[in-house]
Chain A
Amino acid sequence: AQKVTQTQTSISVMEKTTVTMDCVYETQDSSYFLFWYKQTASGEIVFLIRQDSYKKENATVGHYSLNFQKPKSSIGLIITATQIEDSAVYFCAMRNYNQGKLIFGQGTKLSIKP
Chain B
Amino acid sequence: DAGVTQTPRHEVAEKGQTIILKCEPVSGHNDLFWYRQTKIQGLELLSYFRSKSLMEDGGAFKDRFKAEMLNSSFSTLKIQPTEPKDSAVYLCASSRTEISNERLFFGHGTKLSVL
Residue numbers of A with Cβ under 8 A of B are: 33, 35, 37, 43-47, 50, 52, 91, 95, 97-98, 100-107
How large, as a class, is the contact surface on chain B? Answer: 20 to 34
Question: Which residues on the A side are within 8 Å of B109 (C-beta)?
Answer: 43
- CB-based A-B contact count at 8 angstroms: 48
Question: Which residues on the A side are within 8 Å of B103 (C-beta)?
Answer: 35, 47, 50
Question: Which residues on the B side are within 8 Å of A91 (C-beta)?
Answer: 43
Question: Which residues on the A side are within 8 Å of B48 (C-beta)?
Answer: 100-101
- Per DSSP, chain B at the interface is strand
Q: Are A101 and B100 in contact (CB under 8 A)?
A: no
Write out, one digit per residue, whether chain B residues 85-106 have a CB within 8 A of any chain A CB (1) or not (0).
0000101010101001101111
Residue on B nearest A46 in the bound complex, by CB: B106
Question: Which residues on the B side are within 8 Å of A47 (C-beta)?
Answer: 103-105
